[in-house]
Amino acid sequence: MMTEELREQLIRQFSAEVIETKGEMEQTYYSCPACSRPVAKGMERCVCGQTLSWKNIKEAEAVSGFKTAKLEFEVPIEFTKGDCRKCPISYIGKSNGENVYECPLKMRGDCKLEIS
């Protein structure tokens, strides 16, 4: 069975867009989408282990208290939304003594992946 720590390490291997925030004097700051620590422009990985992407820098969404994180990875052509057996980030866990495919993002049964 996958531990919570191992699950988090797995997820942090996928690039996530950094968050851009403007300071009081219009300075631009960047932060890690996983832990909110400040990061220097161009860093490939945060100290928390999150792989960073600088392709589409997102502005902070402070109004709701939440930020949006985006994972992007390839799936087999025959993959369909909710097909945990073919999802490259799923893992085999135990449920009622049986092996089942589990989603490390806890979206099993409510998959929110966007397929393009």
More confident residue, 40 or 61: 40
Q: What is the pLDDT of residue 66?
A: 58
What is this structure's pTM?
0.46
More confident residue, 61 or 42: 42
Whose CA is closest to 21, among 58, 74, 55? Answer: 58
pLDDT of 62 strictly over 50: no
What is the length of the chain?
116
Domain ranges in the chain? 14-59, 75-111
pLDDT of 64 strictly over 50: no
Contact 112, 94 (CB under 8 A): no
